[in-house]
Amino acid sequence: QSVDKNGVTILEKIEEVERQMLNVFTLVSVVAPCNKISAPENPHSGQQTSAEWVRIVFHDTITKNIEGPGLGGLDASVGFEADRPENVGAFINVTLGQFTQFSSIFLSMSDLIGIGLSDSLATCDQPLARRIPLRVGRMDATGPGPAGVPGPTDSLAFAQAAFTKAGFTNSEMIQAVACGHSLGGVHHENFPDIVPDPNDPENLFGRSPFDSTPDVFDNTGVQEYLTRTGLKGGPLVVGPEATRTDFLIFNSDDNATITAMSTPSSFENTCLTIFQKMMDNVPAGTVLSDPVTVRPWILRESHLDLLASGGVTFSGTISGHSTPAPPATANYFYGTVGGGNTGQKTVQQSFVYPNRPNGGDPEDTLIGFGTIVDYEFNDTLSSPSITSINIMSSYTAPVNLNIFILPSQSFSNPVNGQRQSIIRVAVLGTLATTGTTMSLRIWSPNRQPGSVVPTFVNQNITMSFLRTQGDYKIYQAVALTGDGAPGSTTVQANLGTTQASVKVQTGSLKPCTSAIPTTC
Ligand code: HEM
């Protein structure tokens, strides 16, 4: 299986996306409900998070091929382009800033832009909460791409040339604009020549919406444009003569394309297809996965650990999702060497989402997976020959008792803008013979000049023997990681070149209270 520059496989990325999407406290919590404002300190700014997450896709993807065939596209290069006049507004740094806390070696910023689009559309499409088919594997640019995002003062010919160059037909351009401009609007703050200052303390940035339902992803704008009712297509249709780009674009084929997407279902089907095309408009050479289907049952989080007695524990969270809701209890068993198992176990549900579908609170927004149920388990493993966990006869994951990171004995502290991590690892004593080399690979987020998006750098550290605990030998490494950039650090322990632990994200490690780290 091929790996990327961080040694991560496409299957690892897919699994991480599934975990993100079923964890309602991650990205989706930032965008739900659809009218959530991205500047909490300024609730009357009209900066609608869901709209910003959609707009950024256009600004990133549309400059593909300008610099040469196959160059650019959806690659998070917008992170380096936030100050350009064509990107006026705070949306790029605000949006990427919201995404950075979830970035890791498993999720590039450009894949996060895709999850963000998928979350945004689902959140704004209640109660269906449909999602774009989401592929993963996008690679982030390491510098800015060319300028060339069409704006409201550009001619129709300029917009057509940009879309054609990026790989979109005239019809697709019309669809993309009509779909994007279902959410949000034009802000006086960004475009004072298009939208007059409303002098309204309830609308501080002077947002003039594109349609009467700016926080619903629907065909209202198309209907209002075609029937000249409501907002009649919004400020880029009926605003000042010099900036009627939406009118010029919609009218460029005598309204044939926009008429064909005027019913609720034709609008949604068309939009999900065109948004997927925009997301998959990636630099040549990028290998994208098949569309990710979040499996009905997954092991959302899990970790092995050691008791003081030397016994091994395995705990974590199983997540299931379905309509109607998954059962109140979930079953699983541990597989053993040779194909046997240790018997069925049952675990009670610990968290149900949403509790009151469409109750109006963020936590009641449907996000496209029916009801999500979490089940927290915590087992002391009875047999050293366990090799896997099998959940609801539907999902199997390996359990590697040979070598594993020890969360209860590992720590992470902020030190002078960096993090000091003390990572301890258990290796089965029979494997750690004389001459064993234990090493720890650490991938941590670092700042990149010119963009809020972190880049991941890795280091490989030799681990030292600490003590024996039961059947295991404990090794440890102390490392300074990252430079304070947001994002998640990942570690993996290696025994020579023969055994490797699973990769573990260190975000939830507790701080060490001892002055001498190795004695924590
Ligand atoms: C030639 C094509 C386009 C032009 C000239 C254009 C122009 C604009 C302008 C002037 C704004 C106002 C921004 C602000 O004041 O904050 C805007 C907002 C927006 N655009 Fe476009 N746009 C185009 C295509 C698209 C496409 C293809 C999408 C879809 C991905 C899109 C999605 C959005 C969204 C969601 C907003 C609302 C942002 C917010 O409320 O914060 N636009 N567009």
Residue 69 lies inside a defined structural domain of this protein: yes
Q: Is the CB of 152 under 6 A from ligand 1?
A: yes
Domain co-membership, 213 together with 275: yes
Domain co-membership, 371 together with 421: no
Helix (H, G, I), strand (E, B) or coil at 125: coil
Question: Rounded to the nearest 10 degrees, what angle do helices 49-61 and 170-180 cross at?
Answer: 160
Residue 217 lies inside a defined structural domain of this protein: yes
Domain co-membership, 126 together with 17: yes
The CA 185 to ligand 1 mean position distance, Å, reads 7
Domain co-membership, 373 together with 228: no
Residue 289 lies inside a defined structural domain of this protein: no
Q: Is the CB of 436 under 6 A from ligand 1?
A: no
Last residue of a domain, one of 279, 309, 331: 279
Domain co-membership, 105 together with 135: yes
The CA 55 to ligand 1 mean position distance, Å, reads 6
For residue 358, the model assigns a pLDDT of: 60
The CA 437 to ligand 1 mean position distance, Å, reads 55
Q: Is the CB of 57 under 6 A from ligand 1?
A: yes
Contact in structure between 399 and 314 (CB atoms under 8 Å):
yes
Residue 239 lies inside a defined structural domain of this protein: yes
What's the sign of the alpha-carbon dihedral 89, 76, 165, 51? Answer: negative
ipTM exceeding cut-off 0.95 for this assembly: yes
Domain co-membership, 387 together with 415: no
Residue 278 CA, closest ligand 1 atom number: 30
Contact in structure between 93 and 83 (CB atoms under 8 Å):
no
Domain co-membership, 47 together with 172: yes
For residue 122, the model assigns a pLDDT of: 96
Domain count, the chain: 3
Peptide linkage before 33 cis (omega within 30 of 0): yes
Q: Is the CB of 336 under 6 A from ligand 1?
A: no
Domain co-membership, 308 together with 331: yes
Phi and psi at residue 306, to the nearest 5°: -115, 135
Residue 162 CA, closest ligand 1 atom number: 1
Domain co-membership, 312 together with 378: yes
pLDDT under 50 in the chain at which residues? none
pLDDT digits (tens, 9 = 90+) for 144-173: 999 999 999 999 999 999 999 999 999 999
Measured CA to CA, the distance from residue 502 to residue 398 in angstroms comes to 9
CA distances from 278 to 133, 226, 271, 273, 409 (A): 12, 25, 10, 9, 45
Domain co-membership, 111 together with 230: yes
Mutation probe of ligand 1 site: the residue of 37, 58, 59 with most atoms within 8 A of C-beta:
58
For residue 41, the model assigns a pLDDT of: 86
The CA 106 to ligand 1 mean position distance, Å, reads 30
For residue 158, the model assigns a pLDDT of: 98
The CA 169 to ligand 1 mean position distance, Å, reads 18
Q: Is the CB of 90 under 6 A from ligand 1?
A: no
Q: Is the CB of 320 under 6 A from ligand 1?
A: no
The CA 262 to ligand 1 mean position distance, Å, reads 20
Mutation probe of ligand 1 site: the residue of 55, 118, 249 with most atoms within 8 A of C-beta:
55
Residue 226 lies inside a defined structural domain of this protein: yes
Closest protein CA for atom 26 of ligand 1? 177
Q: Which domain holds residue 444?
A: 404-519
Residue 152 CA, closest ligand 1 atom number: 5
Measured CA to CA, the distance from residue 408 to residue 469 in angstroms comes to 14
Q: Is the CB of 160 under 6 A from ligand 1?
A: no
Q: Is the CB of 176 under 6 A from ligand 1?
A: yes
Question: Which neighbouring-strand residues pair with 460?
Answer: 441
Residue 290 lies inside a defined structural domain of this protein: no
For residue 363, the model assigns a pLDDT of: 65
Last residue of a domain, one of 279, 308, 331: 279
Domain co-membership, 497 together with 450: yes
Task: Show the CA angle centred on residue 501, arms to residues 495 and 502, nearest 5°.
Answer: 160
The CA 180 to ligand 1 mean position distance, Å, reads 7
Residue 1 lies inside a defined structural domain of this protein: no
For residue 435, the model assigns a pLDDT of: 81
Residue 132 lies inside a defined structural domain of this protein: yes
Closest protein CA for atom 11 of ligand 1? 186
For residue 3, the model assigns a pLDDT of: 87
For residue 360, the model assigns a pLDDT of: 56
For residue 430, the model assigns a pLDDT of: 93
Last residue of a domain, one of 400, 421, 448: 400
Domain co-membership, 103 together with 181: yes
